[in-house]
Structure 1
Amino acid sequence: MTTKKSVSLLTPEKQQEKKLLTIDCVKISLLLILYNLLNRIFAVLFFYVAYTYHSGKFTLSYSAVLSYLKKQTAFISSTTFSMTANLFITLMSVLVFGIVFAILFRKRESSFIKPRKGTAVKGLKWFSACFVINILLSQLISILTGILGQNGVTVPTSDFSIHQPSAIAVIVQFSYVVIIAPIVEEFIYRGAILTALSPYGRGAAVLFSALAFGLMHGNIPQAASAFGTGLVYAIIAAKCGSILPTVIIHCLNNLLANFSSISDAIGLEHYETFMSVAEIVIGLVGFMVLFTSLKKLIIDDSENVLTPKECRRYVFTNPATIVYMLCLIIPIVKSLVQANS
């Protein structure tokens, strides 16, 4: 039996599939590394622009730019500054990413980036279920971080509250958090990854997608929560054959998550009552969807050339995958160490 299994792994068809998977895995991993690098490059460019705008001067010295901006505490700590930076960096980076992706995977027959008829309705259906999953994960992570905090471990988190509220700050934050970020993240972490890897096995592609999406958030609480929701998002996209439903889910999820800070900034009254009622209704619908449709999230890769186990092994032992994952893990570990040093 062992001999037959070993021989079957070496069939020409499987060898060819493994070769193609390895190549595409390298391409998508390097492309994701490029995206991270582009973020850094455009961040530097944005700082130069911000320096020139605020000081009225121009310099090629990056150290001088950083030194100046660090002194402008009110300027750089404002939501307008941080969200404008995020918008600029994200849009410029995804533009380059999209061009390179289109070149590398131009011959791919099935693309998850293209919208498909009827998938928008599925997005609305699964939004409530994703909302419930997100709430449950958030509560669990909150409990765990609380326990760590009681034991003297500081866990870095992100702050999305609006500092120095203004109409511009609200508009910029809404534009980035509720619209641009979800679309870009779905394009990269679902659309691109699933397009590249799902032909060899949707299960491995979904897992890669969820890990990349989780780890890119940069801190443990968000990474854990994003991994869980990202897993569900990727499964939904894989099942629907399009990221359109997950774009809708992601936008709505971010809207609800940031509704309080936006409402506070614009002075909206009695929004707590509205939010409480909305969350209860969405939660009840979500539990019903999960109860009746959970089996639909099961992915069947039995018809693929490579078995699910083989596909996962080839993807996650790929040197490019390992390098990319390390690029995401190391900053998280460093921030955790720095917070507790």
Structure 2
Amino acid sequence: MPEFSVPFEPAKVEKNTIRKFYNIGGFTALFQFAGSNIFAMLLMIGITAILRAVNPDASTGAVSHYMTKGAIFVAINMLTFLTANVLFAFIGLKWAKIKPSSLIKTRDYHFSDAVTHCLAGLFIWVTAAYISSGIEDIVSQYGFTTDVMDDDYGKTGLGLAIMTIYTCFIAPVTEELFFRGALMKIFSKSNQRFGIVASAVFFGLAHGNLPQFMLAFLIGVFMGHIDMKHNSIIPSVVVHIFINTMVTVMSEFNDNEVVMGLISLGLIIMGIIGFVLLLVFRKGCRLPVSTPAQSRRGIAIAKTSIGIILAFSVQLIYLVLLILTTKK
């Protein structure tokens, strides 16, 4: 309003208030990271103990092989992140005094928007996938690998069913609830652009390897953008489900050259359409632009937030250690 103005430099009281929310977001991300790892470890220990008790003659290697090659490890992964994402999303929202219902009050969102976002998101995913492959090639030249997951785990009927349900439905909903819902909402208190980028950074770090970080970060910025536009996590949930489903379908036909050729052709066509739609979308709706005053309330304060510094440092160190300790 004409009679009001925002000072370029925030006063001490305002800085402390903004820093409080950045700390809430940072510690929420840190607790989710620590909680998911602790919960997974406890589940692994508990289930291993049960299997050893039921099969006292089985060796440690046999028990481990049974867990990783069957459905157990996949189920642990699903339960871990389902619990951690939902639990800490609601803890963070409660801590920041944000109503969960505010995450789904969708504004001006139609079927045509969903199609545009999905195809534009697919183009970003394809582009990011090529970048990720380049990063993997560079790292592999030094004798390391960024692939920290066994591609052959859970190759049973039940394992594939659980993995499909988790990848295509549970992960998109719970990850969007946590990253674009809780984190972005908390980080956007004074600077929307910072909220989008910061939540995308933590989304990338959560994937646990360098190529996946780049892929998740780029698509995370886009999904944060569309959620900010429509004031809801529904748009990013739809895009996330679409992309994860496409990746799951492709992974099932890796060994079929004919089918993969058709899928690749379809990806090229949809990618070109997605590129055009992305340009149209960005022309009509750019990322939120920070005013000079808002810029002084974004990264300038965030870099003094203990919560953000700890969460970022711990997850970055974890990612680096995984690469350094995983040889080809």
Give yes or no for TM over 0.5. Answer: yes
For 1:339, what is the secondary structure of its paired residue? coil
Q: 2:8, 2:296 within 8 Å by CA — same for their partners in 1?
A: no
Aligned-pair Cα RMSD in Å: 3.0
Measured after TM superposition, the shift of residue 133 of structure 1 is 1.3
Distance 1:333 1:161, change over 3 A: closer
Higher relative contact order (CA 8 A, sep 6+): 2
Q: Does 1:191 align with 2:175?
A: no
Q: Deviations over 1:97-126 (max 9, x none)?
A: 1442342133x3796622415436323311
Counterpart Cα distance in 2 of 1:17 and 1:109: 22
| 2:105 matches 1:129 | no
Matched, 1:180 2:170: yes
Counterpart Cα distance in 1 of 2:93 and 2:191: 21
**CA separation in 1, counterparts of 2:29 and 2:154?**
34
Q: Residues 85 and 175 of structure 2 are in contact (CA less than 8 Å); yes or no, is this contact kept in structure 1? A: no
- TM-score (ref. length: structure 2): 0.86
Q: Any residues of structure 2 matched to 1:1-341 within 5 Å, and which?
A: 8-9=7-8, 14-56=11-53, 70-78=61-69, 80-106=71-97, 108=98, 113-119=103-109, 121=111, 122-150=113-141, 152-159=142-149, 161=151, 163=153, 165-263=155-253, 271-295=259-283, 296-302=285-291, 306-339=293-326
The CA distance in 1 between the partners of 2:135 and 2:266, in whole Å, is: 27
Q: TM-score, normalised by structure 1?
A: 0.83
Relative to 1, partners in 2 of residues 1:263 and 1:160: Cα closer, same or farther, differing over 3 Å? farther
Amino acid paired to 1:34:
F
- Identity over aligned pairs, percent: 19
SS in 2 for 1:297: coil
Task: Give aligned pairs, total.
Answer: 320
2:181 and 2:324 mapped to 1: Cα distance? 33
SS in 1 for 2:71: helix
Which shifted more, 186-195 or 16-25?
16-25
Distance 1:283 1:156 in 2: 26
Once the two structures are superposed, residues 294-332 of structure 1 have per-residue CA deviations (whole angstroms, 9 ceiling, x without a partner) of 232321333x9x422442211233121111101110111
Displacement of 1:83: 1.5
Secondary structure of the residue aligned to 1:113 is helix
The one-letter code matched in structure 1 to 2:202 is A
Instruction: Give the aligned residue type for 1:282.
Output: M
Could you tell me whether the CA contact under 8 Å between 1:128 and 1:289 is conserved in 2?
Answer: yes
Distance of aligned partners of 1:24 and 1:322 in 2 relative to their CA distance in 1, 3 Å threshold: same
Gaps of 5+ in 1: 1-6, 59-63
Letter in 1 for 2:201: L
- Alpha-carbon separation, structure 2, partners of 1:314 and 1:285: 40
Q: Secondary structure at the match of 1:199?
A: coil
Q: CA deviation at 1:222?
A: 0.8
Q: Following the alignment from structure 2 to structure 1, what is the Cα–Cα distance between the partners of residues 103 and 301? A: 24
Q: What amino acid maps onto 2:20 in structure 1?
A: I
Structure 1 SS opposite 2:298: helix
Q: Could you tell me how far 1:278 is from its partner in structure 2?
A: 3.0
Would you say the 8 A contact 1:130–1:286 is kept in 2?
Answer: yes
Q: Note if contact 1:22-1:315 (Cα within 8 Å) is conserved in structure 2.
A: yes
**Compared CA separation, residues 117 and 263, structure 1 to 2 (3 A):** farther
> How far has the Cα of 1:16 moved from its partner?
3.9
